Structure 1
Amino acid sequence: MINHVWGLLHHPDKEWREINKEHESVSHLYMHHVLWMAAIPVVSTFIGTTQFGWTFGGEEAIKVSLFDGVGLGIMFYALILFAVFVVGNIIHWMARSYPQRPSRQECVVFAGYIATPMFLAGLFAIYPVIWLCLLAAIVGVVYTGYLLYRGTPSFLGISNKQGFIISSTTLTIGVLVLEALLFAVVLLWHLGSEDSIVWTFF
């Protein structure tokens, strides 16, 4: 797992070739990469919201209780795992017109590794100052886009021009999925910060 993380950050072209050779299963991807990497933003957010609290431009920090933080963390974690699967299926659907269309399994694996920079950006949620977290999220999305641009042509067996088009579309849809995920988490966090309303809501 760690080797792929470092490789994707340091030499993505070489690492994509290594990943493609492995023909990894979805279960192996989740067990050795996604489950661990997705825990980074979840644990960081749990620490940040329960120990420090969110701050919005100098206002008083708002915290959630440990009990609410655990519940929200579990839901956040489940949403992230589901989002990786959704993006993988979107990639598979968009590749339907290419002769070397990869399998659904390969597309989910591709999506899992593409998300690595955004997982790492979640570290900044340990101290949840809103502008810092947004900046980290932007950097994560930009590098995710870079991994897409570098990996898509070889993954789908298409030209760089075709790869640019499909990776741009994938990134746009992926960002929309991310925004929906963040909206859901913020909504749940907001409800959880108001005297445990979230538990009566569900």
Structure 2
Amino acid sequence: MFQHLFGVIYHPKAQWEEIREEKYTWVDCYKNDLVWLAAIPPLCMFIGATQMGWSVGGGEYIKMTLASALPISVAFYFALLTGVYVMAKSVHWMEQTYGADAGFDRCMVLTTYTSTPLFIAGFAGLWPALWFVVFAGLLAMTYTIYLLYNGVETVMDIPEEQAFMFGTSILTVGLVVLVGMIVTSTVLWGMGMMPVFTQ
């Protein structure tokens, strides 16, 4: 499956065709890919925030304490795993509206491979300068959107016009899930899981 992950990035159209023919389950997506991919952003940000420190606007670098960064990183990891599942469930819930009948497993496969650039962009956390992280995130988001529109038609096996509308609906749900994760983070911060910085 790692071959597919990088194949989707380098030659997506041909790779989506191969992916559609293979019978991956949602469990395969988690155990072979997601448990590893979802670890990249929290692990890199943990290392970057505690060893390098955050810098806003090219100013002084401020490091987080290990004690505060660890629970935030663990929560971030499980939030990513949950977010992918929620997205796949949403795709599965919407699929019949757009004439698809792919099943939950294929919806999870589409969600997993589409989100690959976002996970890989997590490496930017090793050098947590705000402008660099934002730039890497925007690049990853752009390519994720490209992969989504490129893959929906093939993986879901629906006409191009419906695939475009389906892809737009998936993108909208993704933004809602992102906002939900931000709100959850705010709630957790209010409950005491706040970053603590070293002097």
Q: TM-score, length-normalised on structure 1? A: 0.87
Question: Are the counterparts in 2 of residues 62 and 193 from structure 1 also a CA contact under 8 Å?
Answer: no
Tell me the matched-pair count.
Answer: 195
1:193 to 188, 192, 196: 196
Deviations 1:139-194 (A, max 9, x none): 11111111111110122222212111111221232133234435655774981226
2:142 — aligned with what?
142
**1:26-45 map, 5 Å:** 26-45=26-45
Q: Secondary structure at the match of 1:192?
A: coil
The 2-side partners of 1:161 and 1:106 are apart by 20
What is the CA distance between 1:91 and its match in structure 2?
Answer: 0.8
Quote the Cα distance in structure 1 between the aligned partners of 2:183 and 2:55: 17
Q: Which residue of 2 aligns with 1:23?
A: 23
After superposition, give the CA deviation of every residue in 1:36-92 in whole Å (9 maximum; x if it has no partner): 111111111111111112111133322221222221111000000000001101111
C-alpha distance in 2 between matches for 1:135 and 1:176: 21
Task: Please say if residues 43 and 73 of structure 2, whose CA atoms lie closer than 8 Å, have aligned partners that are also in contact.
Answer: yes
2: CA distance between counterparts of 1:82 and 1:114?
16
Maintained 8 Å contact 1:98/1:156 = no
CA contact (8 A) 2:19 2:155 kept: no
2:120 aligned residue: 120
Letter in 1 for 2:196: S
Distance 2:121 2:184 in 1: 18
**What does residue 63 of structure 1 align with?**
63
Q: Structure 1 residues 140-149 or 179-188, which shifts more?
A: 179-188
Displacement, 1:105? 2.4
Moved over 6 A (4+): none
Query: How far apart are the structure 2 equivalents of 1:29 and 1:72?
Result: 24
After superposition, the CA RMSD in angstroms is: 2.1
Q: CA distance change for structure 1 residues 113 and 89 in 2, over 3 Å: closer, same or farther?
A: same
Alpha-carbon distance in structure 1 between the residues aligned to 2:94 and 2:138: 24
1:40–1:120 contact (8 Å) kept in structure 2: yes
Report the more deviating stretch, 63-72 or 115-124: 63-72
CA distance in structure 1 between the partners assigned to 2:79 and 2:151 by the alignment: 25
Instruction: Find the aligned partners of 1:67 and 1:104 in 2 and give their Cα distance.
Output: 38
Q: Distance in 2 between matches of 1:131 and 1:37?
A: 23
Matched AA of 1:192 = P
**Distance in 1 between the 2:180 and 2:100 partners?**
31
1:106 to partner: Cα distance: 1.9
- What runs of 5+ residues in structure 1 fail to find an aligned partner? 196-202
Letter paired with 1:89: K
Per the alignment, in what secondary structure is the counterpart of residue 194 of structure 2?
helix
CA distance in 2, matches of 1:145, 1:100: 20
- The 2-side partners of 1:123 and 1:161 are apart by 35
Q: Percent identity?
A: 33
